[in-house]
Chain A
Amino acid sequence: MLESESALIELKDVEMEYDNGTKAIRGISLRINPGEFVFLVGPSGSGKSTIIKLLTGEVEPNAGRVRVNGFSTRNISERQIPLMRRTLGVIFQDFRLIEKKTVYDNLAFVMRAVGASAKESRKRIPYVLDLVGLEKKAYSYPDELSGGEQQRVAIARALVNNPATIIADEPTGNLDPERSLELMDLLVKINELGTTMVVVTHEKDLVDHFGKRVVTIDSGRVVNDSVGGYVGGRIHG
């Protein structure tokens, strides 16, 4: 249900248990304001991926409330889920580009999916490719690009529909440290242009380098929420 037009993510007393009995989230409350840059960190199995699934509407909480860019996922209708997802851009560790389509077509395809015309795509895609530094690779296929370039295409794809929030799930997981830093710089730049950014990672050095807000999850709970880098606890993949 549309509750507010402002870009905002809010989890309130959220609990989530999978059908197999795994209790992934145990009473998380978290608020991300419009324009914020937040690192979500924690060990494997801590509940980070479940938080992403809750934000994208892939799973529903058993208790509590999840609000994403004005939509409450508790009582959202099936028809509204696509509308909610249009306010989000998602970046995956394994890029998930369509191998048979060129860079341009990978972007045009997601614009078309939300109802944009070919004319709108022709206008928007060069701008976004320029932003991620791939303006000369528009007609290359994914397998002709390096890992870093493929991830930048994935970022361009997340950006192309001008979402209020970008959620990046381990975006540097398949990149070397240098490319990781470049990529994170790009995400910071995008954030500075006004897009709220939620980055899930387990790379402590990157988290410390950028000095942004860090939310640490462990065993389905928020164990730390502070600004300026990782404080205490453990971060490992």
Chain B
Amino acid sequence: MGKHNFGYFVHEGFSNMFSHGFMSFAAIGITVACLLIMGTFTLVAVNANRQLEDLERENEMLAFVEEDFSETQVLQKKLEAIPNVTSVTFISRQQAMERFVEQYPDEELFRDLDPNILRDRFSIKIGDLERISQTKAAVDAVDGIAYASAAEEIAGGFITIRNVATVVCVALIAILFIVSVFIISNTIRLTTFDRREEIAIMRMVGATNGFIRWPFVYEGFLMGFLGASIAFLLEWGLYEAVARGVSTSDALQLIDVIPFRELWVPVAGSFAGAGIFIGVGGSLSAIRKYLQV
């Protein structure tokens, strides 16, 4: 690209966008709609994922200490050194009994139990639930641990939910993305069809493909960026409104919506990236057939 052509290309990109007002409006509108649908779906998925992560964090493994083993601090260090273990808390048999009683306040029978019938134990929290079996085996293998107990089935349930949610989310976003590129490419193709004579004349007088292509690339870039900006603002407003609705709803109080200030950077970045990709990709694909010879 020649130096003095840069300004010309940008100017052409801008003026083409305005001179084909309706088609540009249509392309930007479709970009906004597609990004908004994709963005909303992704944000719902991100929030659902966060909820699942929180629930996962609650899931703990118990490692029971052998009866005659007293060096619990050494044991704690060994347990903490096991990969995938994120935290280890010692619970004495006395504390275990107190919790037991707290958990079942209506059961009179538990009140007079001797704590010595219970074992000292460690509450172990793990990072990756998918590796719960290996982690449990490693805990079992530690000298001084009688056995470990983990709710592997519950963990498996969480993993399945997350995997299904991820696959559905990725598939939907991919489909929406392809549909967006297709629609925008067709919209831009209509604007290029409108200007095929212009392109034919440029080719006939010896304009290079690059010279013909660049104004369309800038136009696609501008439309994509504009679409992404509008979609971002709308997404922001929508998200805040939904977050307010959830926080004031009695039925949905358990749901903890991630504040938008934590999400705006990746949302803005993804919207800008996707918008520009869709705009530029759509332009390039639309103009390709006019640059064959």
Chain A positions within 8 Å of B, measured between CB atoms, are 56-58, 79, 81-90, 96, 98, 100, 109-110, 112-115, 117, 157, 161
A83 touches B19 (CB 8 A): no
Kindly identify which residue among B197, B207, B211 contacts A96, using a CB–CB cutoff of 8 Å: B197
B201 touches A86 (CB 8 A): no
Please, which residues of chain B bring their CB within 8 A of the CB of A161? 205-206
Kindly identify which residue among A84, A96, A117 contacts B206, using a CB–CB cutoff of 8 Å: A84
B198 at the interface (CB under 8 A from A): yes
B197 touches A113 (CB 8 A): no
CB nearest neighbor in B for A119: B4
CB nearest neighbor in B for A154: B201
A56 touches B201 (CB 8 A): no
B206 touches A112 (CB 8 A): no
Kindly identify which residue among B8, B19, B208, B293 contacts A112, using a CB–CB cutoff of 8 Å: B8
Given contacts A98-B197, A115-B2, contact A110 B293 (CB under 8 A): no
Chain B positions within 8 Å of A, measured between CB atoms, are 2, 4-5, 8, 19, 197-198, 200-209, 211-212, 293
Please, which residues of chain B bring their CB within 8 A of the CB of A157? 205
- A-B pairs with beta carbons under 8 Å apart, 6 shown: A81-B293, A82-B208, A82-B209, A86-B205, A117-B4, A157-B205
Please, which residues of chain A bring their CB within 8 A of the CB of B2? 115
Q: What is the distance, in angstroms, from A118's C-beta to the closest C-beta of chain B?
A: 8
B203 touches A85 (CB 8 A): yes
Q: What is the distance, in angstroms, from B123's C-beta to the closest C-beta of chain A?
A: 70
Kindly identify which residue among B4, B202, B293 contacts A113, using a CB–CB cutoff of 8 Å: B202
Kindly identify which residue among B201, B207, B293 contacts A98, using a CB–CB cutoff of 8 Å: B201
A56 touches B204 (CB 8 A): yes
CB nearest neighbor in B for A57: B293
B206 touches A85 (CB 8 A): yes
Kindly identify which residue among B19, B198, B206, B212 contacts A86, using a CB–CB cutoff of 8 Å: B206
Q: What is the distance, in angstroms, from A2's C-beta to the closest C-beta of chain B?
A: 14
Kindly identify which residue among A79, A89, A90, A114 contacts B207, using a CB–CB cutoff of 8 Å: A114
Residue with the greatest number of chain B CB neighbours at <10 A, chosen from A83, A84, A109, A157: A109
A83 touches B206 (CB 8 A): yes
Please, which residues of chain B bring their CB within 8 A of the CB of A79? 208
Q: Bound state CA distance, A109 and B209, in angstroms?
A: 15
A113 touches B198 (CB 8 A): no
Q: Bound state CA distance, A113 and B8, in angstroms?
A: 11
CB nearest neighbor in B for A94: B197
Q: What is the distance, in angstroms, from A15's C-beta to the closest C-beta of chain B?
A: 19
Q: Bound state CA distance, A152 and B207, in angstroms?
A: 22
